Amino acid sequence: MMTKNKVVIGLLGSKLDTGKDGLWRPTLALCLQDGLVFNRLDLLYQKAHYHRAVALIQDINKVAPQTEVKMHEIPLKHPWDFEENYSVLLDFASNYQFNLEKEEYYVHISTGTHVAQICLFMLTNARFIPGHLIQTSKNDKDPKDIKGIHYVIDLNLSRYEQIAVKFQLQQQQNVSSLKGGISTKNKAFNEMIDEIEIVAISSSEPILLTGSTGVGKSRLAGLIYKLKKEKKQLTGEFIEVNCATIQGDGAMSILFGHIKGAYTGANTSRKGLLKSAHGGLLFLDEIACLGHNEQAMLLRAIEEKKFRLMGSDKEETSDFQLIAGTNKDLLEMVRSGSFREDLLARIDCWNFKLPSLRERLNDLEPNINFELENITKRLDKKRALWTHNFRDLNKSVTRMATLADGRITENTVKREIERLCLGWYSNQPKTNCPLSQLLDIEQINSLDLFDQIQLEQVIKICYESKSISEAGRKLFCHTRTQRKVTNDSDRLIKYFNRYKINWKILFDHS
C-alpha cells in the first residue's frame, strides 16, 4: 500500500506564532512533532499579517526543511464575525484540490480566533475538509520545550466504542420514550417511531398525526412533548385541545382568547390556549372540526406567530410547536371545501398515520404487559384488561387485574374472554343468549335439556337487569314474599356457583 503524504491546513496565529525564539509557537511546534512528519503545510493568513507569515515560514524552513509551506491569503476582515469566518473558510475548502488517494489531511485548530476554530471544526465534521483535527499545546512539565505535545482527533465517532455505545443507548432511550416504554415488535410501527424521533429532535415544523379513534394520537403527542422538553427544546407547557368539543364563539375564545365585553357574557378577559402554549407544545386533536374562521386565524398564528384576541385590535404573539390530530381525510375535506387547503399545506409538513391494534397484532402482548405494569403500580396489586383497540385494551386488562389475586391465571383470562364475548354479543338482539358464551362444550353436554333451558332463561333475565339484586327480584318474585328475610342476590349467586359461572360478567354491559 502506498504511503500517503501528510498535509496540514491551519491558520496563522497572529500572536502565538510570532513569539520570540525559545518560546512555544503552535504552528512551528506542529512541524517538530516526533513521529508525525508533515510533507506540506497550507498556511492561511490575512493580508495585514503577510510579513508575520513570511517570518514564520522562514523559521519552519530552518527546523523542518522537509515540510513544504504554501501560503493562502484569505479575505477575512472581521475575525470574530461567525458568518464571515464560515463563508471565507467554506470558499477555501470548496476551491481546494483535495487528493484523497495520495494525501492524508489534518486541520490545525490551535490558532485563530475561537470563532475560526469553531468554523474549522464544523467544516471538518461536515466533510467539506475531509481530514482529522489536530491540536497542539504547551508541555506543562517542561515550559522550555518548544515542541510541546499534540492530539489527533478523529471525528468518526464509530471508532470510539464508548461514544458509539452511549450514542446508541441515547437514541434507544429517545425511541423508547416515544413508545411509552413498550417494547413493540411491529416492524412498520417501529420504523415510523424511529422517524418520528428524528423529526421530534431535529425539527420544529408542525406534525400531523392521523389514524382512527383510539390509536394513541393524544398519547404520542404527549410523549413527543416530553422528549422535546427533556432535550431543552421547549420551555412551556403541553396544551391539549379536542376541537370537536368547541364550537362557534366559544371556540374562538378558548383558542385565541377575548377581552372583556367581546361578546355577551364575556364579563372578564381570557388569554386563550394559544397564548398558554407559548414556548411549549399545542396539540389540536380532531382539527378537522375547526370552523373556517378558526382555521384562518390558526394559519396566521402558525406562520406569523401572531393573532388577535376577540374584540381587540391589539396583536398577541405566541411561539409554539404544533401537533394536529385527526381521524378524517383532510384531503377529501379540502376538495369538499370544509377545510382550508393552505392550512393543510402548513400542518402537513410531517404526516404520520398511526396503525390500529388490529394492524399490529404482534404488539398485543407487549401492550398488555405494559398495561399490567401500569395498573400494578396504580393499584399496588397485580391485575389486567383488553378489547377492540388500545383504549379498550386498557379496560380489559384493568378488569382482569382487578379480579386477580396476585397473578392473572388462565381462569381469569377465560372469564374475561367470556365477558368480551358477551360484550360483542350485546350488539345483537338480547332475546337469545347461548350458553356457549359462558360454558364450554363439555359443560353444556353434561347438562340435561331442562337445566340448559332454565339456565339460559336465568342468564337472559340477568342480562336484561342492571344488577344482581334486580335480577333476583324478578326471578324470585313469588317465593321472596314468603320469606322473612329476602336474600335474592345470595340465592342467585349460589345458583351460578353450581355451574361455575362468574355472575359479575353478566352485569358488566353498561
pLDDT in tens, 246-294: 877 688 888 998 888 777 777 788 888 999 999 999 999 999 999 999 9
In the chain, count H helices and then E strands.
19, 13
CB neighbour burial string for 291-330, b if at least 16 within 10 angstroms, e if fewer: eeebbebbbebbeeeebbbbbeeeebebebbbbbbbbeeb
Does the pLDDT of residue 3 top 90, yes or no? no
User: What does the DSSP 8-state code read for residue 314?
Assistant: S
SS3 of 156, please?
A: coil
Cell reading at 313: 385590535
Question: Which carries the bigger pLDDT value, residue 293 or residue 419?
Answer: 293
Of the pLDDT bands very low, low, confident and very high (cuts 50, 70, 90), residue 65 is very high
CA dist 280 and 321 (Å) reads 6
User: What does the DSSP 8-state code read for residue 61?
Assistant: H
CA dist 464 and 458 (Å) reads 10
Cell reading at 389: 383497540
pLDDT one-digit tens code per residue, 150-174: 999 877 655 555 655 665 666 666 6
Q: Where are the beta strands (DSSP E) in 332-477?
A: 350-353
Q: Looking at the DSSP assignment, which residues form a beta bridge with residue 132?
A: 106
Q: Mind giving me the DSSP string for 70-92?
A: EEEE---S-TT-HHHHHHHHHHH
Cell reading at 215: 390509536
Distances (CA, A) of 414 to 330, 373, 502, 510: 42, 20, 10, 21
Cell reading at 87: 463563508
pLDDT one-digit tens code per residue, 484-508: 777 888 889 999 888 888 777 777 6
Cell reading at 492: 342467585
Question: Which carries the bigger pLDDT value, residue 263 or residue 79?
Answer: 79
CA dist 38 and 8 (Å) reads 7
Does the pLDDT of residue 436 top 50, yes or no? yes
Of the pLDDT bands very low, low, confident and very high (cuts 50, 70, 90), residue 389 is low
SS3 of 456, please?
A: helix
At 510 the pLDDT is 39
Cell reading at 207: 406534525
Q: Name all contacts of 85-94 with Cβ < 8 Å and 24+ positions apart.
A: 85/113, 85/115, 85/116, 85/119, 86/119, 86/122, 86/123, 89/116, 89/119, 89/120, 89/123, 90/123, 90/128, 92/44, 93/123, 93/128, 93/129, 94/128
CA dist 238 and 225 (Å) reads 7
CA dist 390 and 386 (Å) reads 8
SS3 of 2, please?
A: coil
CA dist 25 and 64 (Å) reads 14
CA dist 263 and 249 (Å) reads 8
CA dist 102 and 99 (Å) reads 6
Q: Looking at the DSSP assignment, which residues form a beta bridge with residue 135?
A: 151
Find cell 347438562 and name the residue.
447
CA dist 183 and 178 (Å) reads 11
CB 467 within 8 A of CB 507: yes
Cell reading at 429: 338482539
Domains and CATH numbers, the chain: 5-155 (3.40.50.10770), 170-353 (3.40.50.300)
At 249 the pLDDT is 66
Find cell 385494551 and name the residue.
393
How far does Cα 291 stand from its chain's mean position? 29
CB 353 within 8 A of CB 211: yes
SS3 of 185, please?
A: coil
Phi, psi of 327 (to 5 degrees): -110, 10
Name the region of 409 (left: φ>0; alpha: ψ -120 to 50; beta: rest): beta
Find cell 378537522 and name the residue.
288
CB 496 within 8 A of CB 461: no
Mean pLDDT of the chain: 84
Most confident of 127-131, 145-149, 282-286, 312-316: 282-286
| HEC per residue, 231-266 | CCCCCCCEEEEEHHHCCHHHHHHHHHCECCCCCCCC
pLDDT one-digit tens code per residue, 325-377: 999 999 999 999 999 999 999 999 999 999 887 777 777 777 777 776 676 66
